[in-house]
Amino acid sequence: MKIAVVIGSLRKESVNRAVFEQYAEFNKDVFQFEEFAIGDMPLYNQDIQAPDFIQQRAQAIADCDGVLIFSPEYNYSVPGVLKNALDWWSRAEPQPFAGKPTAIIGASPGAIGTARMQYHLRQVGVFLNMRLLNKPEVMIGGAYDKVIEGKIVDDGTVEFLQTHAESFKQFIES
Ligand code: FNR
């Protein structure tokens, strides 16, 4: 199964990127992951046509079997850089997220691990007609104690991510 990955943090030491890398490592026999960059996109402007590279990425996402979004929460919501990418892709043809099995995973040092971001992102996903996995919800709180030097050191988190991967696979197949 080909899975398009979008990461809502641009920083090198991102815990969300680290969670993605571990998730990809654990599930490399089941999923083939392709990350789609968002940091090089201009700010959305309805006056300009989408640059070709944005359109090409939209097509490549549309060709995948599912989408996984790993993202932090910024100011109780979706990071602007991620929302900007979704705004660009929402205007592309084909619509890359329409009917696409999509799951959200987030990690934060705070107690509720991106819950507020995830519910805002779900609202955006309704307009994009994403087919969102409802459960399990993966909201990794206290992430600075669970992800150290790019590795998940908490066994419960590893197990939970594997439960998620199995559910996501079944969701795509259903
Ligand atoms: C944050 N952070 C944060 N954390 C949280 O749980 N809820 C929030 O609303 C916010 N808001 C917020 C805004 C901005 C502008 C920054 C830079 C940070 C903290 C955030 O969770 C922390 O920096 C994470 O490490 C970011 O994720 P990555 O980059 O490590 O993946």
Each residue's pLDDT tens digit, 60-114: 999 999 999 999 999 999 999 999 999 999 999 999 999 999 999 999 999 999 9
The pLDDT assigned to 43 comes to: 98
pTM of the model: 0.98
Candidate from 74, 114, 146 with most ligand 1 atoms within 8 A of CB, to mutate: 74
Closest-lying ligand 1 atom to the alpha carbon of residue 13 = 30
Cβ neighbours around 173 below 10 Å, total: 9
User: 30 CA distance to ligand 1 centroid (A)?
Assistant: 30
- Give the residue ranges of DSSP H helices in the chain: 15-26, 52-62, 80-90, 115-127, 143-146, 155-173
Homologous superfamily (CATH) of 2-173 is Flavodoxin domain (3.40.50.360)
Residue 91 makes CB contacts below 8 A (sequence gap 6+) with 50
User: 77 CA distance to ligand 1 centroid (A)?
Assistant: 10
Is 160's C-beta closer than 6 angstroms to any atom of ligand 1? no
The pLDDT assigned to 141 comes to: 98
Domain limits of the chain?
2-173
Candidate from 6, 38, 69, 75 with most ligand 1 atoms within 8 A of CB, to mutate: 75
CA distances to 40, 41, 70, 137, 148 from 122, in Å: 24, 22, 13, 12, 28
What rounded mean pLDDT belongs to the chain?
98
The pLDDT assigned to 55 comes to: 97
